[in-house]
Structure 1
Amino acid sequence: MGYKKDMSKYENLEGWERCGFGEQLDRWAEKYGERTAVTDSEDEISYMELKQKADCLAAAFLRKGILKGDKVLVQLPNRISFVIVFFALSKIGAVPIMMLPAHREAELEGIIELAKPAAYIVVEKYLGFSYVPMANAMKEKYSCIRHIFIDSESGDISGMIAETCGENGAFPAVDGYETAVLLLSGGTTGVPKLIPRTHTDYMYNARMSAKRCRLDSSDVYLASLPVAHNFPLCCPGLLGTLDVGGKVVLASATSPDDILDAITEEGVTITALVPAMVTVCMEMLEWDEDYDISSLRILQVGGAMLEDSLADKIIEEWPCKLMQVFGTAEGLLSFTSPEDEGSLIARCQGTPVSPADEVKIVDEEDKAVPEGVFGELLSRGPYTIDGYYMAEEANKKSFTPDGFYRTGDKAMWTKDGRLRLGGRIKEQINRAGEKIMPSEIEAYLCRHSKIKEAAVVGVPDETLGNRICAFLVTDDEAGIDLQEIHRFLREIGVAAYKMPDQIEWVETWPLTSVGKIDKKALERMAQEK
């Protein structure tokens, strides 16, 4: 056993509360009652209705044999049922594993093998993809999955809520220091890593984010990214908004028209976007005058590096305050402040949201670097984890002996005492805010009968931040193109956002002095192409 975080040392912090999410929802329902809590493209639900439906579904899960401590795969899009499911599982102490709608068999299998989920909650159909056959295949392959619950108008979730309302008994006691949720990490290898967040630390995460955003009951938060992501779930996101009595709007898809429509129609005051989506939204606003974003108070931008020029353009053209965000699902969050000057906001990612956050920036020998010099960002604190779920080897690499998390990000302290990020130290590709490991895509590509070897690199791209370029060694170049690669990867169940954007062929690899494939040389070749 390595370092273990002592939760008790944080118990005097403002916003720290040893309490489960189910109990939090009960308090919000009592406090905010019939105020609208969440709305999606089809419906809305009040705080009281949310509590009642979560109670009914929690009771139904118990009757079906879902027990406290069970892991449950949750793969639902942005809709009210996601919120009900999240709180229902929280009330009985079951632990949701936050899958994204884009995930397919390849991602699911690694997670199932690691976490042994007892159930799988899945949408019937979303954006043209039918999830039920995939869920059934997973249940047939993995005996740990005892139940599949389907979310649709006529599916299990709505039926279970209706069946059990009025029959709710006592729920198991849930300690705020128990694991509440398992988030997915992009990671630094192809091996899936799960991030265990407790009820208490994750609620503190949301509260400190809401405090930095000056969030209150008049705010309308738009979850424009998939709400299973840490950013729209808790930074301040869904949880931070509900905590202050605001309204959460769930965008049905991450598209510029959905986002701009929602801002216009719902009077959205705060939302979070990745830089690539900001760019597309700005282009749409230039030629379509029907959108009205005047209600926006804060635009949070994070998930990928925000170029200085785009930051300047947002500050100049948008009616709201830009808030630069750096965050990890493992913990540390650093935001600029609404009170900061535009010139400062455009050139940094602010300061950590908690006074108890501990941050170090170090060189390759773990020695602190001077102000103005980039090094690796390390963090420890009240809402930063002390280890991944069942990942002893990864923990040895990702955490120092005294419990600091190695973020793998380059950062420096500015002369104003703010953090300025400088991108990933390792080769992880950040494509439009989605984290992709080259080694994972390389392994998938090499399963193709015509591909002998593959190397994947991220290439700077104005729209995506980074595009995925795959270099291939094949027996015969004829008969295989980008379309064929995409078809093959779809067939083996790879998420669409991991598909290469560009392919190139090589006869021999450029090598480094120690005989490794020279990926920097490949990146230059891809840019020249």
Structure 2
Amino acid sequence: MASMLAGCTPWPEEFVDHYWASGHWRGTTLDNLLRGWSLQYGPRTALVHGETRLTYAALNRRVDRMAAGFRLRGLRSGQRVVVQLPNVPELVITVFALMRAGVVPVLCPVSYRGPELSHLVRVSQATGYVGPSTYRGFDHTAMAADVAAEGPFLRRVFPLEAPGSASPYGGFTTDTSGCHYFPLGSIDSPPEPALAQSAGQVAFFLVSGGDAGAPKLVPRTHNDYAYQARAAAELVSLTEDDVYLAALPAASNLAFGGPGIVGTLTFGGTVVLAEDPAPAACLPVVERERVTITSVPSDVARLWLDALPVVRADVSSLRLVQTGGAPVDRETAERMGPELGCRPQQVFDRAEGVLTLTRPADPDGTVFATQGRPLSPDDQIRVVDAAGEAVPDGEPGELLVRGPYTVRGYYRSPEDDARSFTADGYFRTGELARRTPDGDLVVTGPRP
């Protein structure tokens, strides 16, 4: 891990050796995995969004050409680019294309506005921004222009134009601050020879939403994220016959890799992208695309159940609904089987990497009332009191974790590291939890 991006905290060598020996880390970058998927699953459908359908082979070709286009527009290996897109195919294509070009994407929630974007650009020293020209009435390109004017980092903006739009940013332009604007659709060039890249390097940054402070950048490596997505997919027995509906924002950890988008693509399934998790938008998509797996916030799961008699969509294809965010209440969990035709899978996750899940074979009592067990056999869990001492099973305490897909620190944020990570590398989740006699975790809420 000596090659990890400066400003990141590496795993200690003894842990690195163990994760390699255990087969968790396999040394292949995510963009190279996509090359393999395109060869293995080429004609199968990889991405669906509305009427748009992309095969694995077409997805890989688009990524190849966009990666070359980014390099033609001046992006260089090791630079950072903020990607702020809704759940559209261009988000997946852009993130993989940037990784293939050696550039590190910063996955930014589409809800962020100027102050948050400015902070992410400053911390990451991002030289580029990819976002909608406008989205739901908000001018994202104008926001990026304001951040670029603050200087000195942001110098390339790639707006995604809405079909049929007449944006002032269409075509190549340069503003008074020296920032260049290239429509994302123009980022297309004949593929170049592949770059030699290390899977121990940072693949992309997620944004931590664990508290009300300034957003923090979470560096996820190719090794750790490929393992997380693969292990989560294996846990739910995901196959090429599965159809995953990304109803949560794709920039979130659960939707991107728990198993999410990356896990589904790993096993040749189909990813359906939804921009709105509301039942009126999603339930007809479940019927049309025969969705088998999805992830929704716990409160949205209840909305889906309440809306079923009105929407009248056939959701019989569903076999698993993951519920994330706040723990799902027992009444909602108990309704899901009879009304959706499948059991829930409760999940607790953080951008930093911790992922606990109930198992498909768990008894109802576990599925309805706990957030399950850690994903990896090498996840190390502690539940501690205010003094950092372990508490007995059944007693509440703060949940601490370290493991092969949980980071050891934020990017360029030593003050936050001191608060959020112990000296021996455990991530302080900030959540109170208790452990049941069977080893499952019940997450009860934020630490006071």
% identical aligned pairs:
37
Q: TM-score, normalised by structure 1?
A: 0.77
Letter in 1 for 2:73: K
Residue 430 of structure 2, aligned match among 398, 408, 420: 408
Q: Which moves more between the two structures, 144-153 or 398-407?
A: 144-153
1:486-497 equivalences under 5 Å are: none
What is the CA-CA distance between 1:128 and the residue it aligns to? 2.5
| Structure 2: distance between partners of 1:197 and 1:50 | 22
Q: TM-score, normalised by structure 2?
A: 0.91
Query: 2:287 maps to which residue?
Result: 264
CA separation of 1:308 and 1:336: change in aligned 2, threshold 3 A: same
Matches within 5 A, 1:454-465: none
Name structure 1 gaps, 5 residues minimum. Answer: 427-529
**Who is 1:369 aligned against?**
391
What residue number does 1:250 align with?
A: 273
For the 8 Å contact 1:212–1:335, the answer to whether it is kept is no
Q: Which residue of 2 aligns with 1:66?
A: 75
Would you say the 8 A contact 1:68–1:172 is kept in 2? no
Is residue 322–residue 345 contact of structure 2 (8 Å, CA) maintained in 1? yes
- Give the residue type in structure 2 aligned to 1:199: H
Higher relative CO (Cα under 8 Å, sequence separation at least 6) belongs to 2
Deviations 1:185-205 (A, max 9, x none): 114352221100001101111
Alignment of 1:112-151 (within 5 A): 112-151=121-160
> Matches of 2:213 and 2:233 in 1, distance apart?
33
183-192 or 197-206, larger mean C-alpha shift: 183-192
* Deviation for aligned residue 1:4: 3.9
User: Structure 1 CA distance, aligned partners of 2:82 and 2:129?
Assistant: 5
Q: Structure 2 residue aligned with 1:42, among 44, 48, 51?
A: 51
Q: Is the 8 A contact 1:124 1:150 kept in 2?
A: yes
- Residue 38 of structure 2: SS of its match in structure 1? helix
The alpha carbon displacement at 1:16 in A equals: 2.5
Deviations 1:226-266 (A, max 9, x none): 11111100100000000000000001222221111111110
Partner letter of residue 337 of structure 1? R
Aligned 1:292-371 pairs, distance under 5 A:
292-371=314-393
Query: Residue deviations 1:304-326, cap 9 Å, x none?
Result: 12122222222343201210101
| Counterpart amino acid of residue 85 in structure 1 | T
State the match for 2:177 in structure 1: none
Alignment partners' CA distance in 2, 1:2 and 1:229: 22
1:5 and 2:12 equivalent? yes
- Give 1:224's match in structure 2, choosing from 217, 238, 247: 247
Secondary structure of the 2:261 match is: helix
CA separation of 1:225 and 1:189: change in aligned 2, threshold 3 A:
closer
Q: Output the CA distance in 2 between the equivalents of 1:350 and 1:323.
A: 9
Q: 1:2 to 1:319 in 2, by over 3 A?
A: closer
Q: Which residue of 2 aligns with 1:199?
A: 222
Aligned residues: 421
Give the conservation status (yes or no) of the 8 Å contact 1:315–1:322.
yes
Cα deviations by residue, 1:11-63 (Å, 9 ceiling, x for unpaired): 12345311111111100001001100001123010101111110000001111
CA distance in 2, matches of 1:372, 1:326: 18
**Equivalent residue of 2:195, what SS?**
coil
* Distance across 1 between alignment mates of 2:384 and 2:275: 41
Query: Which moves more between the two structures, 110-119 or 52-61?
Result: 110-119
- Stretches of structure 2 lacking an aligned partner (at least 5 in a row): 1-7, 165-169, 171-182
Mapping for residues 272-287 of structure 1, pairs under 5 Å: 272-287=295-310
- Using the TM superposition, give the Cα deviation of residue 160 of structure 1 relative to its aligned residue in structure 2, in angstroms: 2.0
In structure 2, relative to structure 1, the CA distance for the partners of 1:136 and 1:410 (3 Å cut) is: same
Question: What's the Cα RMSD here?
Answer: 1.6
1:380-411 residue CA offsets vs partner (Å, 9 max, x unmatched): 11000000000101101111111011111111
From the CA coordinates, give the structure whose radius of gyration is larger.
1
Which of 27, 42, 58 in structure 1 is aligned with 2:36? 27
| CA contact 2:356–2:374 (8 Å) conserved in 1 | yes
Aligned to 2:99: 90
Query: Helix, strand or coil for the counterpart of 2:191?
Result: coil
Q: Secondary structure at the match of 1:11?
A: helix
Partner of 1:157: 184
